[in-house]
Chain A
Amino acid sequence: MHGRPRKAPKPEDEAASSAKAQKLRALQTQFFSFHHNKIYTKEAVELSAKLLEINPESYTAWNYRKLAVEHYLNLPDCNPDSIKSVLDDELRVVENALRQNFKSYGAWHHRKWVLSKGHSLIDNELRLLDKFQKADSRNFHAWNYRRFVAESMKRSEQDELKYTEDMIYANFSNYSAWHNRSVLLSALFDKKAEGFLLKEKVLPEEYEFIHQAIFTDPDDQSGWFYHLWLLDQTVTTDSPLLASSWPGHGSDVLLVGDRCYNGSAFSPFSALHSDSGSFPIVLYFNQPVRGVNSSTVTVECGFNKNEDLLWKPLSASNSQTARVWVAHLKVSSSDLHSTVEVSVGHTKGIISTRGFEYSHPSMLSFKVHVQPMERDSSQVSVAESISLREENFKVYGKQSEESIIDSFDQLIIKNGHETTASNWRFEALAKEIECFRELLSLVDCKIGKLTLARLLKAYDAMSYPFANKLVHSEEVLELYSDLMKLDRTHYQFYKDERSIVLLQKYKDSVSSAICGPICLRLNNLSLSRMGAFEKLLWVQMLDLSHNELQSIEGLEAMQLLSCLSLRNNKLRSLTALEPLRKLKLLRILDISYNQIGDHSIDTTRYVCSSPLSHSVGSELNRDETVTSDVALINNWEAFYIFKDFNLNQLDIVGNTIADEKFKSVLVKIMPKLKQLDGKLLD
């Protein structure tokens, strides 16, 4: 009934429709009696056709007709002619019903069913579709059916592509036609059909085509989505790539036995404290992959030969697919200096979510130096407190800038063979950028600005490994600031996007924000969202205080973090801290002055009101020490989040949730905690 044309009833119409209702009621009674008694006589079947003509939504009648058809096809005297006549009858009934209501699910489905019997001429279907699609060019039932027909009759994608072109020329606002175009082109790319083997040939033509629509009317939405799809086709490489790693290629890692951030930490080495006798190797791919294991990624080093490393995906869900993978390599005390070589993808098996194989085998090599422990870690004074105070962020002198740049450099995996292949991508993007700058010089257009920002970001991201600089970040930031002013409705969206660009930029510039190769200060930047983690893998101390973060999604990639400040942000629930559960080296955490507990209803419980989601509770039940403790049961989120932490120091003051009772629960959950809100614990 939704969206169908309706007229106000006139008195004479009302009389007529009342008669119609009477007739329908009689028909229906008769129909149900036939249906329930499985009567499939000619008379009975015709009656169901009448019913469907009045009410095409009567799905029970459609099913009855299916049963009737099966009944006829199974008769002993059934021959090709009689089959054809039975099925033709069905097609006619459907067509009449569609004339009555072209949005009837049951009617379209019935037609598919009849055709799947394989006896009817499918060519007629295109003629019928043309008629319906002229009448309503956005009817998604018709488009779905069209794809079904084209596939069944093995009509070429090229022919269908031509059809979308005609539809677009008739009405370039018809997004259904643009959408079908993207579906068809994707299929052609996948099949590597002749003439579609090279995206570099096809995509520029498509850009030309879409420009006509966009420049004719920049406010028309249809073109923009298609443009977005084209952009995606231009920038994404099919096979996954290794975006960065820790340790980086050619780097020196210094492992120290205890936690003292003295002068040695600021040497050109990346120094890492390790009390478990192991250190993490982190691989960051440009898209989620599965199949990272000891056979697809081999690690050779002095101290551990032939050891099967366990690679774990770092993602919030427990799926076996992730962008970031980590393994922990044990060091031995006998070999103090060793070279580690990590080969990625020399054996097949790393596969992206879209099903593409990792096809750029690469090798990382780095040196590890173990500095024997000077003190036993148990002797570290309980009172020793580490914080993100200014002295830990000594601005690092000029002479060291080079080494910092080096450390950035090492994170980038160079893919030389990609350069030539990508030239057309650069050219396409550069052309688009030029084109949209022109558009914006003619008209002021929000979506034009957003698109230009996306193009510039894509261009920078693609050129980063070679240029080592985000040349357009200022322009992009300005575009987003503009949009935030122009379009208040979507303010937060632009702000989030802007935050990520801001982060990229800060990491890109060697400024006083970076105070040594292990500390990063990103406070007071109005960040509402985090991103660009692939460039942050080296960070051990991170200051994100005084921002507007509501989520720290993705932070789990920063495996070296030992000290993190999220003071004065907008985190609203303990469960928002989930990514931190994966940070095994985290010792010091400051989440003070957030909004945890401000809201009396726990949003997690509310969203996940499905009984399934309460299995966190079931985990609690299995742990008897917990079930016996009412306070812990009552704070299951806290238990869930904090139980895996190895924190020494926690600051949580300034959150509604952090009353004394809650703090005593925390102490119970984390027996190793030495300091809470600046107070020593016994």
Chain B
Amino acid sequence: MESFRSLTVTQRDQILVEQQVFDIFKTFYNLPPSSQSFMLELQRENHVEYLTKGLTGLSPSFCVLDANRPWICYWILHSIALLDEFVDPELENNTIDFLSRCQGPNGGYAGGPGQMPHLATTYAAVNSLVTLGGDKALSSINREKLYMFLRQMKDASGGFRMHDGGEIDVRACYTAISVASLLNILDDELVQNVGNYILSCQTYEGGISGEPGSEAHGGYTFCGLATMILINEVDRLDLSSLTDWVVFRQGVEGGFQGRTNKLVDGCYSFWQGGIFALLKRLNSTKEVKPIPLGDGEGSGEESPQTTTSSDAAGEEGLNGDLSLGGSHSEIGDQHNTSSQDNVIDIDHNHSKGHANVEPLFNSLALQQYILLCSQELNGGLRDKPGKSRDHYHTCYCLSGLSVCQRSWLEDEDSPPLPRAVLGPYSNLLEPIHPLYNVVLDRYRDAYEFFTKS
């Protein structure tokens, strides 16, 4: 029998990357604290400058991305939003106009004007417009036509095609379902059998592959998991083996790899890191499947209305307070006398300490990788040391950083503790909605807009 060579190509590459990364860390740890904190600082201004430049004009080397122009918009706009900056109104208008020209006459967005509509660029365009926000941007989306486009892309098997005659994969399912959910046009027809398709892509490793038979992959695992959550079938996945897979994708460098035995790459800070953000929320509520109370009927058609009704219920809460006013004080007195000792005794010391739950991955190590190895000091972020910056990596490194900074938090609205944010607290980015990867506030505005209209 042949025997194995002692060092494989893969291992050699891995060692080289480790050396580069560890050199950076070593230099860092030998610095005085003041320089250390400078090195850990997020270079906000430089990033914004790099990003804004990308929106106004790109060098000719971007030819290869000609069929992905809405993606460039999304990567840049989302990054700018994460940094809590805005683009100037003229640029905003131009972007909205440009994306409108990408919108096909029969719905959906294409990679550029004149091209065919495509699901991935539709996702990018919709997320861009949600990120820009405001009536003009949001109302520029033709939801009826877009719904028809999604229906056309739906394959009989349940999966979606990327474009007319295009390939079926997990990416297509996620982008279709995410867009439909965000625009409040998700219905039973779109959801039907999507879950079966995603399920057929979960491998024995635990992660999800791009298509059946392929190996598990970080990007697809995020897409598959998010899709299953959005269609409310997440409990059909083997979540424990998925968790098992994803925890071990974080390497010694602190960053994540995308697949088994691949090199670390900054963009997986979001694809894998975002999985943790999703899993954490599922953890406490995992077996909750709020659809069927009884026999599972009637989950689909009524949903848009019920959304509004449960929101309205929230507002009416104040009245509820008043109506119960009478009995409230009466029982309140009893409560004070009988059970107070216990409360002081047991609860207060412990429970608050646990309100912030330690994440399942090493959040500080990932932040360290992003800031020291992925960040270019003159703006932009990258895959790993030795590679050059680009908008894709800038977007997903920053998204991952935002997820990290809040990975201790249960509640999205309160700011994280300083110890959860590596480097100066000014590194804190805006929170995202991990299912769609848009900034949370922009999501909320869009949610309100699309539930009303």
Verify A612–B260 contact, CB threshold 8 A: no
Known contacts A572-B410, A610-B232; decide if A14 and B167 are in contact (CB<8 Å).
no
Q: What secondary structure prevails in chain B residues at the interface with A?
A: loop
- Interface status of B303 (Cβ within 8 A of chain A): yes
Verify B59–A57 contact, CB threshold 8 A: no
Verify B287–A553 contact, CB threshold 8 A: yes
Known contacts A55-B63, A66-B165, A608-B232; decide if A318 and B296 are in contact (CB<8 Å).
yes
- Interface status of A229 (Cβ within 8 A of chain B): yes
Q: A58 to chain B: which residues have CB within 8 Å?
A: 66-67, 111, 115
Q: A59 to chain B: which residues have CB within 8 Å?
A: 67, 111, 115-116, 118, 162-163, 166
Verify B355–A599 contact, CB threshold 8 A: yes
Which of B293, B314, B327, B360 has the most C-beta atoms of chain A within 10 angstroms of its own C-beta? B293
- Interface status of B181 (Cβ within 8 A of chain A): yes
Which of A72-80, A209-217, A247-255 is found at the contact surface with chain B?
A209-217
Known contacts A171-B10, A318-B296; decide if A661 and B324 are in contact (CB<8 Å).
yes
A656: nearest residue on chain B (CB-CB)? B351
- Interface status of B32 (Cβ within 8 A of chain A): no
**Contact pick for B281, options A229, A553, A606, CB 8 Å:** A606
Verify B61–A490 contact, CB threshold 8 A: no
Q: B299 to chain A: which residues have CB within 8 Å?
A: 612, 615
Which of A32, A63, A108, A617 has the most C-beta atoms of chain B within 10 angstroms of its own C-beta? A617
Q: A261 to chain B: which residues have CB within 8 Å?
A: none
Q: A621 to chain B: which residues have CB within 8 Å?
A: 306, 309
- Interface status of B140 (Cβ within 8 A of chain A): no
**Cα distance A588–B181 when bound, in Å?**
41
Verify B392–A634 contact, CB threshold 8 A: no
Q: A54 to chain B: which residues have CB within 8 Å?
A: 63-64
**Cα distance A576–B342 when bound, in Å?**
24
Closest-CB distance, A644 to chain B (whole angstroms): 9
Known contacts A610-B230, A677-B339; decide if A217 and B285 are in contact (CB<8 Å).
no
- Interface status of B265 (Cβ within 8 A of chain A): yes
Verify B343–A603 contact, CB threshold 8 A: no
Verify B413–A493 contact, CB threshold 8 A: no
**Cα distance A401–B285 when bound, in Å?**
39
Verify B328–A614 contact, CB threshold 8 A: no
B13: nearest residue on chain A (CB-CB)? A173
**Cα distance A140–B351 when bound, in Å?**
47
**Contact pick for B346, options A18, A550, A593, A631, CB 8 Å:** A593
Verify B300–A612 contact, CB threshold 8 A: yes
Verify B298–A172 contact, CB threshold 8 A: no
Verify B6–A216 contact, CB threshold 8 A: yes
Which of A3-11, A374-382, A509-517 is found at the contact surface with chain B?
A3-11
Q: B6 to chain A: which residues have CB within 8 Å?
A: 216-217
Q: A213 to chain B: which residues have CB within 8 Å?
A: 4
Verify A317–B236 contact, CB threshold 8 A: yes
- Interface status of B52 (Cβ within 8 A of chain A): no
Q: B355 to chain A: which residues have CB within 8 Å?
A: 595, 598-599
**Cα distance A58–B230 when bound, in Å?**
30
Q: B9 to chain A: which residues have CB within 8 Å?
A: 171, 173
Verify B320–A634 contact, CB threshold 8 A: yes
Q: A234 to chain B: which residues have CB within 8 Å?
A: none
Q: B33 to chain A: which residues have CB within 8 Å?
A: none
Q: Write out, one digit per residue, whether chain B residues 207-246 have a CB within 8 A of any chain A CB (1) or not (0).
A: 0011101110100000000000111110110000001100
Verify A55–B284 contact, CB threshold 8 A: no
Q: B14 to chain A: which residues have CB within 8 Å?
A: 173
Q: Write out, one digit per residue, whether chain A residues 526-566 have a CB within 8 A of any chain B CB (1) or not (0).
A: 00000000000000000000000011010000000000000
Q: Write out, one digit per residue, whether chain A residues 578-615 have a CB within 8 A of any chain B CB (1) or not (0).
A: 11000000000000110100111101111111111111
Which of B122-130, B142-150, B369-377, B383-391 is found at the contact surface with chain A?
B383-391
- Interface status of A201 (Cβ within 8 A of chain B): no
Q: Write out, one digit per residue, whether chain A residues 413-436 have a CB within 8 A of any chain B CB (1) or not (0).
A: 000000000000000000000000
Verify A654–B286 contact, CB threshold 8 A: no
Verify A660–B63 contact, CB threshold 8 A: no
Closest-CB distance, A521 to chain B (whole angstroms): 19
Verify B339–A615 contact, CB threshold 8 A: no
Verify A612–B291 contact, CB threshold 8 A: yes
Known contacts A551-B284, A630-B323; decide if A599 and B64 are in contact (CB<8 Å).
no
Q: A317 to chain B: which residues have CB within 8 Å?
A: 233, 235-236, 287, 289
- Interface status of B316 (Cβ within 8 A of chain A): yes
Which of B110, B250, B314, B351 has the most C-beta atoms of chain A within 10 angstroms of its own C-beta? B351
Which of A59, A601, A633 has the most C-beta atoms of chain B within 10 angstroms of its own C-beta? A59
Q: B61 to chain A: which residues have CB within 8 Å?
A: 9, 17
A166: nearest residue on chain B (CB-CB)? B2
- Interface status of A304 (Cβ within 8 A of chain B): no
Closest-CB distance, A4 to chain B (whole angstroms): 9
Q: A216 to chain B: which residues have CB within 8 Å?
A: 4, 6
**Contact pick for B306, options A3, A105, A618, A664, CB 8 Å:** A618
B252: nearest residue on chain A (CB-CB)? A219
Verify A579–B186 contact, CB threshold 8 A: no
**Contact pick for B360, options A21, A493, A611, A617, CB 8 Å:** A493
Verify B284–A603 contact, CB threshold 8 A: yes
**Cα distance A174–B262 when bound, in Å?**
9
Q: A109 to chain B: which residues have CB within 8 Å?
A: 166-167
Q: A101 to chain B: which residues have CB within 8 Å?
A: 64
Known contacts A221-B260, A617-B313; decide if A610 and B285 are in contact (CB<8 Å).
no
**Contact pick for A8, options B8, B319, B388, CB 8 Å:** B388
Known contacts A490-B360, A661-B321; decide if A105 and B162 are in contact (CB<8 Å).
yes
A616: nearest residue on chain B (CB-CB)? B290
Known contacts A6-B388, A14-B59, A59-B118; decide if A607 and B281 are in contact (CB<8 Å).
yes
- Interface status of B334 (Cβ within 8 A of chain A): yes
Closest-CB distance, B63 to chain A (whole angstroms): 5
Q: A144 to chain B: which residues have CB within 8 Å?
A: 210-211, 213-214
**Contact pick for B343, options A2, A3, A147, A653, CB 8 Å:** A653
- Interface status of A24 (Cβ within 8 A of chain B): yes
Verify A183–B343 contact, CB threshold 8 A: no
- Interface status of B448 (Cβ within 8 A of chain A): no
- Interface status of A36 (Cβ within 8 A of chain B): yes
Q: B433 to chain A: which residues have CB within 8 Å?
A: 609
**Contact pick for A550, options B209, B215, B283, CB 8 Å:** B283
Q: A57 to chain B: which residues have CB within 8 Å?
A: 64-68, 111
**Cα distance A607–B342 when bound, in Å?**
33
Q: B186 to chain A: which residues have CB within 8 Å?
A: 610-612
- Interface status of B89 (Cβ within 8 A of chain A): no
Verify A612–B231 contact, CB threshold 8 A: yes
Closest-CB distance, A97 to chain B (whole angstroms): 11
**Contact pick for A316, options B247, B261, B289, CB 8 Å:** B289
Q: Would you list which residues of chain B between 1 and 17 have a CB under 8 Å from chain A?
A: 2-4, 6, 8-11, 14
- Interface status of A485 (Cβ within 8 A of chain B): no
- Interface status of B204 (Cβ within 8 A of chain A): yes
Q: B390 to chain A: which residues have CB within 8 Å?
A: 1
- Interface status of A319 (Cβ within 8 A of chain B): yes
A-B contact list, 29 entries, CB within 8 Å: A1-B64, A21-B63, A59-B162, A59-B166, A60-B67, A108-B167, A138-B259, A173-B11, A173-B14, A216-B4, A217-B11, A221-B260, A316-B235, A489-B250, A490-B360, A571-B284, A575-B288, A576-B284, A578-B288, A592-B342, A603-B410, A610-B230, A611-B307, A613-B232, A614-B306, A615-B292, A654-B347, A664-B331, A677-B338
Residues of B within 8 A of A (CB): 2-4, 6, 8-11, 14, 59-61, 63-68, 110-111, 114-116, 118, 162-167, 181, 184, 186-187, 191, 203-205, 209-211, 213-215, 217, 229-233, 235-236, 243-244, 247-248, 250, 259-262, 265, 267, 278, 281-296, 298-300, 302-307, 309-310, 313-314, 316-317, 319-321, 323-324, 327-328, 331-332, 334-335, 338-339, 342-343, 346-347, 351, 354-355, 358, 360-362, 365, 383, 387-388, 390, 392, 410-414, 433, 435, 447, 451
